[in-house]
Amino acid sequence: MRDAAQLSSRIPVNLFRTMKKYKNDLILFGALLMVFFAVIIWNLFTAKPGGFVEVKVDGELITAFPLSNNIEYEINGINNGKNILIVRDGEAWIESASCPDGLCVNMGHIRNTGASVICLPNKVVIEIVGDATDDASVDIEVGQ
C-alpha cells in the first residue's frame, strides 16, 4: 500500500479512483507481467545454442551472420572505432578492437541465444539470436 499512496500523491485523484475501480484488472495485468518476466528469466537460464549473430552499432542493426558460417568481419563503430568479429564453429567473439578498455575482447566467446558482447566505447553490440535448430528461413531484418 505504500507504493499506492506514493502514486496517489503524484497523479490526479480521478485517475487514482479509476485505478481502484479497475483494481482486479491491474492485478491481472501484474500477473501477466510477472509471467512475461519469468519467461525472459527462464530463457536466460536455459542456455541454447543460437542460430545467428546480430551486429548492432549505436542501437542500429547493421548486419547478421549465421553461426554456421565461418567469417571475419570488421565492425565500424562510432568515432572510427573498429571491432573485429569472428564467427567460427557456432561461436562468435570480438578478436580485437580499437577501444581503450578491451573489455569486449575479454568477454570471450558467445554461442547461446540471448548472449551478447558489448563494446561501450565503440557502441558496438553483438548478440546471439534465433535457434540453432531453426532452418535458414528465420527472418533477419537488416537495416530499416
d(CA 89, CA 109): 11
Task: Sheet containing 82-88: give its strands across.
Answer: 71-76, 82-88, 91-97
Residue with cell 485517475: 15
CB of 32 to Zn ion, least distance (A): 38
Q: Nearer to Zn ion by C-beta: 53 or 104?
A: 104
| Closer residue to Zn ion, CB minimum distance, 100 or 143 | 100
Between 66 and 91, name the residue whose CB sits nearer to Zn ion: 91
Shortest reach from residue 44's CB to Zn ion, in Å? 23
> Of the two residues 8 and 98, which places its CB atom closer to Zn ion in the complex?
98
* Three-state SS at 115: coil
Residues found near Zn ion in the complex (CB under 5 A): 97, 99, 104, 119
Q: How far is the CB of 53 from Zn ion (least distance, A)?
A: 16
Spatial CA neighbour of 87 closest among 109, 114, 106, 104: 109
Please, where are the H alpha helices in the chain? 2-10, 13-21, 23-45, 103-106
Query: What's the closest the beta carbon of residue 17 comes to Zn ion, in angstroms?
Result: 52
